[in-house]
């Protein structure tokens, strides 16, 4: 019973964390958070993190290594 409750709590926290991350505003080119964009030289439009992930996925066309490199800050 305790394990089931703990697992349910972990699932709930994962959903909350994902929702907060997906709604975070970032640079559309490099993914840097909006509050740090003054350090960003690319001057792209501000998009949600989810939109950034989607655009990177389309751009890398299934190349997982390139996708993760960009998401990990490979453009800054």
Is residue 75 pLDDT above 60, yes or no? yes
Is residue 9 pLDDT above 70, yes or no? no
pLDDT for 15-27, tens place per residue? 555 556 667 899 8
pLDDT for 35-70, tens place per residue? 887 877 776 789 999 999 999 999 999 888 999 999
Two structure tokens written together for 44: 């792209």
pTM of the model: 0.67
């Amino acid at each position: 019973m305790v394990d089931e409750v703990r697992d349910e709590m972990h699932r709930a926290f994962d959903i909350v964390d994902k929702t907060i991350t997906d709604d975070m505003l970032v640079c559309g080119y490099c993914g840097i958070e909006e509050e740090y964009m003054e350090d960003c030289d690319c001057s792209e439009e501000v998009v949600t993190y989810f939109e950034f992930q989607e655009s990177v996925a389309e751009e890398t066309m299934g190349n997982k290594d390139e996708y993760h490199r960009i998401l990990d800050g490979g453009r800054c």
